[in-house]
Amino acid sequence: HKCSPVEAEPGDLVFRRDNGVWSWFFVQASKREKRFSHVGIVIDGGKNPTIVHADASEMTGVDCVRKQDWAGFFAESVDGALYRYDGVRYVREKIASEACKRLRVPFDTGFDMSNTNKLYCSELVRESVNGATSHETIGYTMLTNCQTMISIDDCYRTNMIKVAECREYRLSKM
pTM of the model: 0.90
Grouping H, G, I as helix, E, B as strand and the rest as coil, residue 70 is helix
Question: Residue 145: what pLDDT?
Answer: 72
CA atoms within 13 A on the CB side of 107: 15
What is the mean predicted confidence (pLDDT) over 68-83?
89
What is the mean predicted confidence (pLDDT) over 51-72?
85
Task: Show Cβ contacts of residue 104 under 8 Å, excluding neighbours closer than 6 positions.
Answer: 64, 65, 66
Q: What is the pLDDT of residues 105-163, one digit of tens each?
A: 999 988 888 889 999 999 999 999 999 999 999 998 877 777 788 999 999 988 999 98
Q: What is the pLDDT of residues 21-46, one digit of tens each?
A: 778 777 877 888 899 999 999 999 87
